[in-house]
Every structure is written in C-alpha cells, then in structure tokens.
Amino acid sequence: MNFSRRNFLAASLAAGAAAGGRIALAAGADASFPAGEEAGNLVDKVKNAMLAMQRYSWEQGMAGQAMWEWGDRQTAVLLARASLINTTEDGRLAAVGGGATDPAMAGEIVWRAGLLTGDKDLLKAADNLLDFLLKRAPRADDGTLYHVFGGSEVWSDSFNTAPPYLAVRGQFDEAVKQIEGLRKRLWDTDKKLLSHMWNEGKKRFKRKDFWGVGNGWAAAGMTRAIRALPPERGEDKKRLTGYLKDLLDGCLAFQRPDGLFHDVIDNQNSFVETNLGQILSYSIYTGVAGGWLSANYIAAADRMRQAARKKVDQYGFVQGVCGAPKFDRAGVAAEGQAFFILMESAEKNKDEG
C-alpha cells in the first residue's frame, strides 16, 4: 500500500502507546489469555478490535472477506453495505485512501452479499466495479493493471486486488493474465521472492525490496484465484499453484526461529513483522484444504499461526503487523486484524478438503 497514509490511530487505548500510530500495551501489561481459551473467543476479540478501527478501501474489503470466510454472514453483509458509502462514479468501492485497484478487494464480498440478500444495490455496485476493472482502470500496454492513478506503477499488492475478484466473477482469462503480468515484472528467480514496486514508464523498480506483506498479498491473491478457478481450468490451476509453491518456498527459506519474518524478508535489519506469517498460514491452510498444496507445509503454517496468536493483546489488537498509517514500522492495522481471522478460518477448515 502507499507510504503516505494519514495517521488515523491518533488516540491510544492504553497508557504508554507508541508514537507513529501504534496502539501498544502499557508497560508490564499482561497480554496472555486464560489457558484453554477457544479460538472462537480469540477471533471475537480480534474481530471487535478490527471493527473499531478506521479502514482504508483494501482493509474494508479484507474485513468483509474475513467475516465471510469465518462464517459471520451478518457482519459480512454489513461491511459490504458500508462499502457503498464511498463509491466513486467510475465504480470503485469503499474508496478511502486512493488507489486504482485497492477498492477491488471489496468486490468479492459485495458481490457475494448481494447474491445472499438479493440486494440490487450491492449487485449493481459489484457489476460497476467489474466494469471498471475490465474497461476503465489504468493499465500497461499488455493489459496489466496499474496499482495507482497518475503513475505507471505495478505493485505486488495487486495480486490480491483484481485477480481474485475477476476469477470469482468468471473472468478467468483476465484473472490469470493479471497474475502473469504482475509476476513477469516483479518475480526474482534467484531469491524466489517478489519485489514491491515496478515503474512501467521508466522500466525500473521504484522499490526493489522484497517487502514481506507484499509477498503475502501475492500469496493470498493467487490462493483465492486458484480456489475460484473451475476444474476445467486445470492447466491454469496447475501453473498458478506452481507459482504459489515457489513463493512459499522462497519466503519460508527466511522464516525466523520464532515463526515470523522480517519486514523486508531478506533484510535482518528490518523490523520483525507479524502479518506475513498470518497471510502465508492462510494460504497454506486453504491450499491444503483445496488439495493443491501438500500437507507438508502445515508444520510451517502452524509455527506462524502460533507466533501470531501470541501477538494478540488484551484488547484484541494483533501487535507487530506492518502498521498503519504508513506501514513502515511494527504496529497495528485493520488488514492485520482481517488476516488473523482469515488464518483462523482457514485453519479451522483445513481438514475439510
């Protein structure tokens, strides 16, 4: 996401909150939970904290997706309806924080909520967003979507913006094309990781760093696209699964003993970050349940999940994620809350494939 985000975490919930938007525990506070607390109760804490937070467009979408996958249809529908408040004339949803394709993260939940409820406003908004992505969103000469307006920039974040939504709407060729275009520009064959930002106009990287959460967005996006592809797209599923395995292997080569990763995956001087572990766990559990990933990945996912669960404070905030508002330091963010819930949902369902 962009690095000039307004600091919306102006007030702390505890004495001793850190500057820069983090909500931290007071010194010496006990963040542990009672022994034997069930996952559902922990998710409720994380959910309530997430719903209390201000959210950007992509975070609104992922919050709704998290509620849907957890099975909380009522909250998912409410988040979908709220995504219509800041709809733009060109069809973007929950358009808070700018960005050309970030609002597409709300596409799937708005569409599914529309189907569930029969709400014509939701269904129309979902169609308008699809039309924007197919016809009006800025893109490179080969059709790869730009992540932002006013600059020919391709970001790793975009794996989880348009492709999953295009796939669930039956635009399979376009979904696969977007993933291929992103990977062509950002994939590093030697490191088996994705760089963050490519400037198409200048034909060079704007940010070559292997940003952890950016690689996480890519894993989640490919996971959701693979899940949406029908059986008759077997070759596409196989190819995307290969991309996902390569990315998982590349990331896991840098997994720390505590189960987490550095913010820049191969830079030990960058801060230790929580959300990449959550996203990779979600991708692994989902892939194992779907039958396209080996259960051999589960051990790594379990380590990441346990590390993330230890980061939940007494308020339900997942500490140590790439934090709002600038996402350049450890803190809290609504996207980190959402992926905790998505991780827990996927773990709960991993044996149902």
In a domain, 179, yes or no: yes
Higher pLDDT, 107 or 10: 107
- Residue ranges making up the domain that contains 146: 39-254+290-298
Higher pLDDT, 140 or 29: 140
In a domain, 124, yes or no: yes
**pLDDT band of 18, cuts 50, 70, 90:** very low
- Measured CA to CA in angstroms, residue 161 lies from 47, 250, 255 at distances of 22, 22, 26
Structure tokens at 239: 């190819």
Q: What pLDDT shows up at residue 174? A: 98
Dihedral angle at the C-alpha atoms of 243, 167, 165, 113, nearest 10 degrees? -130
Q: Give the H or E element holding residue 194.
A: strand 193-194
Q: What pLDDT shows up at residue 14? A: 31
In a domain, 57, yes or no: yes
Sign of CA dihedral 235, 237, 240, 241: negative
Domain count, the chain: 1
- Measured CA to CA in angstroms, residue 190 lies from 245, 246, 249, 267 at distances of 15, 11, 12, 16
Overall pTM > 0.85: yes
Question: What's the CA gap between 51 and 62, in Å, rounded?
Answer: 12
Mapped onto helix, strand or coil, the DSSP state of residue 56 is coil
Which CATH number covers residue 50?
1.50.10.10
Residue 10 clears pLDDT 90, i.e. is over it: no
> Residue 292 contacts by C-beta under 8 Å, 6 or more apart in sequence?
226, 237, 241, 244
Residue 9 clears pLDDT 90, i.e. is over it: no
DSSP string, 61-93: HHHHHHHHHHT-HHHHHHHHHHTTTT--TTS-S
Residue 28 clears pLDDT 90, i.e. is over it: no
Question: What's the CA gap between 138 and 318, in Å, rounded?
Answer: 34
**pLDDT band of 30, cuts 50, 70, 90:** very low
pLDDT above 90 as % of the chain: 86
- Residue 91 CB-half CA count within 13 A: 18
In a domain, 208, yes or no: yes
**What radius of gyration do the chain's Cα atoms show?**
19
DSSP state of 233: G
In a domain, 33, yes or no: no
In a domain, 46, yes or no: yes
Give residue-wise pLDDT tens across range 84-117. Answer: 999 999 999 999 987 899 999 999 999 999 999 9
Closest to 94 (Cα-Cα) out of 60, 50, 44, 133: 60
In a domain, 106, yes or no: yes
Exposure class string for 240-257: b at 16+ Cβ within 10 A, else e: bbebbbebbebbbebbee
Give residue-wise pLDDT tens across range 167-190. Answer: 999 999 999 999 999 999 999 999
Q: What pLDDT shows up at residue 31? A: 41
- Residue 164 CB-half CA count within 13 A: 28
In a domain, 185, yes or no: yes
Strand partners, 262: 272
| Residue 37: Cβ within 10 Å count | 11
Structure tokens at 316: 């339900």
**pLDDT band of 20, cuts 50, 70, 90:** very low
Q: What pLDDT shows up at residue 170? A: 98
Structure tokens at 271: 């801060």
Residue 316 clears pLDDT 50, i.e. is over it: yes
